[in-house]
Chains A and B, each alone.
Chain A
Amino acid sequence: MLIRLNPSSGVPIYLQIVEQIRHSIEIGALVEGDQLPAIRTLAEELVVSPNTVVKAYDDLEQEGLIRLRHGAGAYVEKGNLAKSRLRRFQEASVVVKETVRKLRSMGLSDDESRRLFEAEWIEEAAAR
Chain B
Amino acid sequence: MKKKVILILWLLIGLGVIAIYLTVGEPNKNIIIQVRIPRLLLTLFTGMALAGIGSIYQLMLANPLAEPYILGISSGSAFGSILLGISGLVVLMPLGGFIGACFTMLLVWKLAHQKGRFDKSRLLIAGVIAGMFFSAGISLIMYLYQKDTALILGTLMGNLGHIFTSSEWVFFLILLVVSFAILIYLYFKSTAIDILSGGDLYAASLGINVLALRRQIFILTSIVIGISVSYAGIIGFVGLIISHIVRYFVPSGQKKIYLLSLLSGGIFLLACDLVAKQLLAIELPVGIITAFIGCPFFMWLLLKKQS
Q: Decide whether A and B are members of one complex.
A: no
* Residues on A facing B (Cβ under 8 Å): none
